[in-house]
Amino acid sequence: MIYSDEGQLKTTYAADMVIFPLAQDRTLFAILMLLAFVGIPALALAGIPPFHADYIFKAILTPFLILSLAALGLNILVGYCGQISLGAGAFMAVGAYAAFNFASRIPELPVLIAILLGGGVAAAVGVCFGVPSLRIKGLYLAVATLAAQFFFDWLFLRVRWFTQDSPSGSVSAPKLNVFGWHADSAVERYLLVLSIIVVLAALAKNLVRSDIGRQWMAVRDMDLAAEIIGIRPVRAKLTAFAVSSFIIGVAGALWAFVNLGSWEPSTFSIDRSLQILFMVIVGGLGSILGCFLGAAFVLLLPIMLDIVPGALGMPLSTDTVSNMTMFLFGALIVFFLVVEPHGLARLWVILKEKLKIWPFPY
Amino acid sequence: MNAPIPRRDIASSTSAPLLSVDNISLAFGGVKAITDVSFDIRKGEIRAIIGPNGAGKTSMLNCINGFYHPQAGSITYKGNKRERMRPHVAAAQGIARTFQNVALFKGMSTLDNILTGRSLKVRRGLLWQAIWFGPALAEQIENRIAVERIIDFLEIESIRKIPVGKLSYGLQKRVELGRALAMEPDLLLLDEPMAGMNTEEKEDMCRFILDANRRLGTTIALIEHDMGVVMDLSDRVVVLEYGRKIADGTPAEVKRNEKVIAAYLGVPH
Ligand SMILES: Nc1ncnc2c1ncn2[C@@H]1O[C@H](COP(=O)(O)OP(=O)(O)O)[C@@H](O)[C@H]1O
Ligand SMILES: [Mg+2]
């Protein structure tokens, strides 16, 4: 029995409340962090494939991290607080364009601060669009968030002030100067994004295991019962909208500043919103780990479909790949919604439970 | 278990009521759920509310904790006559309750469910909670200790980390009581806490209710159908029928009341 809680008795409540109560999980997490922060950059420096090329950082790792963050933000609202939203892309756009305006109108402002301020503006906008959730639920709320999506698509395309008169709303981000550190190379950008995401994910994890997280889940599971124990559904929902939109806004700003460099409103269209919602559903509603699993899955599936059949000697055309991707996503979403709403994260937990008792059947 | 605290005779006490309901009427469209009902609940007592199905018992609790707002009459709690009040305000003033149909948070564990009952005690804001360490952690541990005491009291240590959706109905009712007790309420409203339980579970539940009342000093309003339980537990009983009060007094008095006998035997009168 390698993976087991045997001999790991918890003697204090503080020890019982840590994120990874099992020593094996802690080790695994430490190895993962070490790999991400040191191992991968070292491989890149040493020029070992596939890390020798920028491709893996620019096209896979950095987008994966940023979209994981967006999924994390959306999961707080949808998975933890139970408020359905189809507007993640809109809040990414708000974060991106707000950060752009802060950075270009106040050139002295450090870029990192501009990005965080972008998140702050997205949080404020999120609260405004969260107000209808106090009255309407489910499908109707989804439609209201969809309205937010179309409103911001229009706003950034048509109102020139936000894009500083650039035609078609296409703008460019300032240089990534983080307190004197110029994050220019692909590896540096990856490290910048990784650091921000690790910090924000830790803060989010703390929130969901604190009182505010329990308030969100209480409102999700039964808002009437939540109210009789003194939880104010109004407050719980609006904080969920604020925190969720802040994280999504930061993700949007990172997507624009770090991943793209220059972008236009269509980057954050309804397609983006749906993609992030897919990640949350496939990864697992109400799970932080699930956001990362979901993002990895949604991003990697098309790449795999592109590479694997080719490697097996039967390459597929681009059309076939994109059709197959659509088809597989559709099927998976139906599967996860119907069979396992807790997604890949839940499958991971089940696997761990099985491992705990392995090699015995029960 | 500690020895029970000697009990002053609440039924004959003249102490000021913790809560008094005066001439309350409540209707849904044409359906009169409650018609001109008055009664009071004294500090420290177990007050039973009984009556046939549809008599308006649940509606009465809903009025007391602000779910429903009666069209006529008034409710005075802790000496204050109150206006239309939201349930979370009632909770903040020390009114807790359980529901006839279990109303737990299905996606959360027993521990988390009971911890939500501590929500009103949490002082640290969002930023501290995001940071986790320091004062927020100290507060979390404080609340955890309070909740563990309740888990211990209700003898549910073994189901601490299990999602409540997987528990038996009897255990769910117990967890719901735990969540209400975690609020450290002054007034606890219990809506049929023993419905659907077997004898053993009922005996446990009776013990918990008595202990909560005697050891923690919680005033309790109890809706219950099992007459044996009502007679054993309660200090005073109010009887409703078709939304009207038909009797009010000690269990012994109520049991002798002709209207009550008729209501329960279904004799026309
Ligand atoms: N929300 C509601 N809407 C309409 N009618 C209701 C509602 N709540 C209760 N009633 C009606 O009020 C009456 C009393 O119900 P209730 O208080 O649940 O009775 P009890 O708990 O004594 O069985 C019933 O006739 C019931 O149908
Ligand atoms: Mg009832």
Q: What is the DSSP string of A67-124?
A: HHHHHHHHHIIIIIT----S-HHHHHHHHHHHHHHHHHHSTTS-HHHHHHHHHHHHHH
**pLDDT confidence tier of residue B84, bands split at 50, 70 and 90:** confident
**Sheet of strand B31-42: strand arrangement:** B31-42, B17-28, B72-77, B80-81
Cα–Cα distance between B74 and B82 in angstroms, integer? 7
The total number of structural domains in chain A stands at 1
Q: DSSP character for A316?
A: P
Confidence at residue A13, expressed as pLDDT on a 0 to 100 scale: 83
At residue A359, does pLDDT exceed 70?
no
Query: Which structure tokens are listed for A305?
Result: 């479909």
Cβ-contact B224, B48 below 8 angstroms? yes
Rounded Cα distance between B117 and B130, Å, is 20
Give all strands of the β-sheet with B244-249 in edge-to-edge order.
B95-98, B187-191, B219-223, B46-50, B236-241, B244-249
CB under 8 Å to A153, separation ≥6 — which residues?
A90, A93, A265, A266, A268, A269, A270
Closest residue to A206, CB basis, from B96, B132, B141: B132
List, for residues A4-48, the tens digit of each pLDDT value.
666 665 668 888 888 888 888 899 999 999 999 999 999 999 988
What distance in Å separates the CA atoms of residue B38 and residue B45, rounded to the nearest whole number? 17
Answer whether B28 touches A (CB < 8 Å).
no
On whether residue A224 sits in a domain, the answer given is: yes
Cis omega (within 30 of 0) on the bond before A132? no
Q: Domain-by-domain residue ranges, chain B?
A: 14-94+185-269, 103-184
Q: For residue A148, is it within any domain?
A: yes
A13 is a domain residue = no
State residue A307's pLDDT score: 81
Considering CB atoms only, which of A211, A221, A227 is closest to B105?
A221
Q: What percent of chain A has pLDDT over 90?
A: 58
Q: Is the pLDDT of residue B268 over 60?
A: no
Q: What is the pLDDT of residues A255-264, one digit of tens each?
A: 999 999 999 9
- Examine residue A43 and state whether it is found in any structural domain, yes or no: no
CB atoms within 10 A of CB A244: 30
Helix (H) or strand (E) holding A350: helix A343-357
CA angle B85, B87, B93 (to 5 degrees): 80
Tokens 């009465």 belong to B60
CATH (residue range B14-94+185-269): 3.40.50.300
Counting Cβ atoms within 10 Å, is residue B50 exposed (0-12), middle (13-18) or buried (19+)?
Answer: buried
Instruction: Report the mean per-residue pLDDT for chain B.
Output: 91
DSSP codes joined into one string, chain B: -PPPPP---GGG--PPEEEEEEEEEEEETTEEEEEEEEEEEETT-EEEEE-STTSSHHHHHHHHTTSS--SEEEEEETTEE--S--HHHHHHTTEEEE-SS----TTSBHHHHHHHTTGGG----HHHHHH-TTHHHHHHHHHHHHHHHHHHHTT-GGGTTSBGGGS-HHHHHHHHHHHHHHT--SEEEEESTTTT--HHHHHHHHHHHHHHHHHS--EEEEE-S-HHHHHHH-SEEEEEETTEEEEEE-HHHHHH-HHHHHHHHT---
* Top-ranked range on mean pLDDT: pick from A166-175, A309-318, B6-15, B116-125: B116-125
Percent of chain A past pLDDT 70, that is, above it, reads 96
In a domain? residue A26: no
d(CA A247, CA A72): 8
DSSP three-state, residue A334: helix
Q: Report the chain B residue with the minimal C-alpha distance to residue A221.
A: B105
Closest-CA distance, A346 to chain B, in angstroms, reads 13
Residues around the ion ligand 2 (C-beta < 5 A): B 58, 100
Residues whose beta carbon lies within 6 Å of some atom of ligand 1:
B 28, 31, 33, 51, 53-59
The closest alpha carbon to A97, from A230, A210, A257, belongs to A257
Index of the ligand 1 atom closest to the CA of residue B60: 17
pLDDT digits (tens, 9 = 90+) for A157-215: 888 899 888 877 789 988 887 777 787 899 999 999 999 999 999 999 999 999 999 99
User: What are residue B240's phi and psi, to 5 degrees?
Assistant: -110, 150
Which of these, B116, B93, B120, lies nearest to B176 by C-alpha position? Answer: B116
Tell me, yes or no, whether A197 lies in a domain: yes
What does the pLDDT look like over A229-288, one tens digit per residue? 999 999 999 999 999 999 999 999 999 999 999 999 899 999 999 999 999 999 999 999
Task: Over range A65-69, report the average pLDDT.
Answer: 98
CA dist., res. A267 & res. A153, Å (int)? 10
Give me the CATH number covering residue A173.
Answer: 1.10.3470
pLDDT at A212: 97
Number of C-beta neighbours around residue A83 at 10 A: 24
- Identify the H or E element spanning A13: helix A13-16
Expressed as residue numbers, the domain containing A85 is 53-357
More confident residue, A351 or A213: A213
Determine the length of chain B: 269
* pLDDT reading at B4 higher than 50: no
The closest CB to that of B97, out of A14, A17, A228, belongs to A228
Asked if A344 and A335 count as a contact pair (C-beta separation under 8 A), the reply is no
- Which range among B49-58, B83-92, B242-251 shows the weakest confidence by mean pLDDT? B83-92
pLDDT band with cut points at 50, 70 and 90 for residue B59: very high
Which residues in chain B have their CB less than 8 angstroms from residue A215's CB?
Answer: 116, 119
Ligand nearest to the CA of B56: 1
Q: Whose CA is nearest to atom 7 of ligand 1?
A: B28
Residue whose structure tokens are 């211990």: B152
Q: How far is CA A320 from the centre of its chain?
A: 28
Fold of B103-184: Rossmann fold (3.40.50)
Q: Complex ipTM above 0.95? A: no
How far off is chain A from B195, nearest CA to CA, in Å? 19
Name the nearest CA neighbour of B230 among B204, B250, B259: B250
Contact residues on chain B for A223, CB-CB shorter than 8 A: none
Is the fold of B14-94+185-269 the same as that of B103-184?
Answer: yes
Token representation of residue B218: 């919680």
> Is position A27 within any domain?
no
Residue A361: what pLDDT? 60
Cα separations (Å) of A79 from A74, A106, A362? Answer: 8, 37, 31
What beta strand segments (E) does A148-197 contain? 171-172, 177-178, 181-182
pLDDT at A160: 87
Of the given ranges (A258-267, B7-16, B61-70), which has the lowest mean pLDDT? B7-16
Q: Give pLDDT, residue A20.
A: 86
Q: Which helix (H) or strand (E) holds A354?
A: helix A343-357
Asked whether the beta carbons of A88 and A150 are under 8 A apart, the reply is no
